[in-house]
A and B are shown apart, each in its own frame.
Chain A
Amino acid sequence: MGMMRRKKVPVPPALRWLAVVAVAAALPAFSQAGSPATMPAEPAARPQPVEYRDELGRRVVLRGTPQRIVSLAPSITETLFALNLGERVAGVTNYCDYPAEALTRPRVGGPINPDLEQIVSLHPDLVVATRSLNRQETVTALERLGMAVYTTDPRTVEEVVASTRRLGKLLGADARGEELAATLEERLADLAHRLAGHAPRRVFFVVWTDPIISTGPHTFLADALRHAGAESVVTTDQDWPHINIEEVLRQNPEYLVFSGTHPEDPQTLIAGLRKRAGWSSLEAVRAGHFAIVSDALSRPAPRIVDAIEDLARQLHPDLFPPPPTPAATPPSSRGGTR
């Protein structure tokens, strides 16, 4: 062991060497860090920059009307197509499946963790994000890369309509946005008029069954339920709470509401629930009180009003005239909504 006594000898030169390398490596990092990425010089003949505020109050600077838009959420994609701006949609997320045309657009990954490289390669002049689905970090990263990012934040059905109108204005589709928003408002007002004076149905909205996840009272989904003449029995403060089956039994909801986002067909799901302990004792299950709506109910986009009307009809059939066409809507024919 005596040879190990020379322990102190080689350390200083090696340490010095390490320090030199480290400092050399650190220098460019210091100079490059801190400041946002420098943008290449803009060609002269471009429209003047105009400053807008997005729905979070953040500054968004646009040069001219955006022509290439990347959408970071299914609801945004739907809204853009509803505004007749589908031509300008340059990129969508992996989950953007409505309308069918959206499936033909380049994918940029998932909303939580999109591929920045792919977004940059699409040369968008605007990226639209939404607060309920995207991450703040993604928005910051895109802005550091010199992208203009507009964030929507609708938390109620009314705000979905307002947000649609605002997006139309921002993208130079004022007339279409106004028309769309006015129609939606009219339909909502008509629905409110029909439902006025009738007690809302006490419902349990099933986001997921294993584990049981429902929606809290502060989400736009809960607001959509209210508009459809329903009231969620869940009163917790969390947005997407895990609920114990005992609590569902205790609350004894009149209806179970399912939306089509669930990977299993709601019909098979219901057949399964009928056989399961706990679920099978629910009065709503025994009475067959199920309402099944398209996943549009959980997307803050114009189509949410279709889903609200559909749900209202299922929960309050007596308040609506029978459907005009004899080919009514058996549950199996609802497969068209994705």
Chain B
Amino acid sequence: MIRPLTPRRLLLTCAGLGGILLLVVFFSLKFGTRSISVTDLAVFLFRTATGRGDTAASDFRLIILDIRWPRILLAMIVGAALSVAGASFQALLRNPLADPYVLGVSSGAGLGSILTLIWAAEMPAATPFGAFAGAVLATSAVYLLGQRGGDLDSYALLLGGIITASFLSALIMFLMTTISGRELRGMAFWLMGDLSTPSPVPAGWLVLVLVLGSGAIYTTAADLNLLLSGEQEAMHLGVDVGRVKIVVYLGASVLTGLAVSVSGAVGYVGLMVPHLVRLLFGSDYRLLLPATALGGAIVVVLADTLARTVVAPTQLPVGAMTALVGAPVFIYLLRRRIA
């Protein structure tokens, strides 16, 4: 698919995806335990937008603005962050199967979160930092494990990721069984990937970090295109490979840490979404990155809407929904690659 990327095509694609996202958000606002009709919701949103939302019944407002909307916002942030992180790891490691969950980066961030929760229980806002540190360490470990003869070997990398993930999960299990803190009770649920708990950090900060992280990665988008053909080749074409790798590696770790600290390990989003976007729009990272961010937001909002409605009032962890769809996609991609 060698269509030249014009600013116009970039804008149109993103606007299209943005439109779909708005539609998905609207329907996600509609569906829930309490049924709300499309007209009621549309009228309410219009009134709220024009500053006359106060006329609605108070629990209607409460459910839409204070229960559903913050959760949808969180789902969008997590989806965008994980997808951009996944796309970045895929370019950085030149491996289409790379994903924060598969590579163990999510487990690293999870372990970091849990350790901060244990050591700094009175400072919930510290968890994202712990998650970030864990993500960076896990990425470094996987990167080292994936080296073979001075170059990255994609199978060594995948195996390294799987080993790192299971080792870190074992550490998490160890901490959870030995430490009797009752505060860790919800952790098992959280580890599956869960959006029902409001973030300890205000959503504005999460959006800011998301924008900074993805923005930093986006500045290297053109270099990533060249990097995909190989480090040597990219270097010959004038790419500062070392700098690009550091920016992308830190950026993707920040994004993974951000997502994991608010939602636990929501798996396979970073794998699924970039691939779908590649199939639809080609693999130019200048388009792929923003399209992936929007696509990730759409997918996680959809998944979480299902998670909170299929067996309501009982709620499923969103990670169970994404893994249900994501794991088969992973197997499909793996088999296609082997064949």
Contact = CB atoms under 8 A, between A and B. Distances in A.
Nearest to A241: B177
Contacts of A131: 182
A94 B222 CA distance: 53
B59 A11 contact: no
Contacts of A37: 62, 65-66
Query: Size class of A's contact patch?
Result: 35 or more
Contacts of A109: 312-315
Interface in A108-147: 108-110, 112-118, 120-121, 123, 131-132, 135-138, 140-141, 144-146
Contact of B34 (A17, A121, A144): A121
**Among all A-B residue pairs, the 3 with the closest Cβ atoms:** A33-B202, A7-B222, A30-B204
24 contacts: A4-B222, A11-B218, A11-B219, A17-B11, A18-B215, A18-B290, A26-B211, A32-B203, A33-B202, A33-B204, A37-B62, A39-B58, A40-B61, A113-B186, A113-B189, A114-B313, A116-B67, A116-B196, A118-B34, A120-B62, A121-B59, A145-B67, A238-B177, A239-B182
Contacts of A108: 313
Contacts of B223: 7
Interface string B185-203: 1100100001011100011
The majority secondary structure among interface residues of chain B is helix
A22 interface: yes
A137 B205 CA distance: 20
Interface residues of B, number: 59
Given A117-B32, A140-B198, 7 more contacts: A7-B223, A10-B10, A26-B208, A29-B202, A109-B315, A116-B67, A145-B66
A242 interface: yes
A267 B286 CA distance: 66
B54 interface: yes
Contacts of B197: 135, 137-138, 141
A132 B180 CA distance: 12
Interface of B: 4-7, 10-11, 14, 18, 32-34, 54, 58-59, 61-63, 65-68, 73, 177-178, 180, 182-183, 185-186, 189, 194, 196-198, 202-205, 207-208, 210-211, 214-215, 218-219, 221-223, 225-226, 237, 286, 290, 308, 312-315
Contact of A13 (B7, B177, B203, B204): B7
A296 B313 CA distance: 25
A40 B197 CA distance: 23
B67 A18 contact: no
A33 B178 contact: no
Given A30-B204, A112-B189, A7 B219 contact: no
Given A109-B314, A146-B62, A238-B180, A29 B286 contact: no
A108 B196 CA distance: 14
Contacts of B18: 21
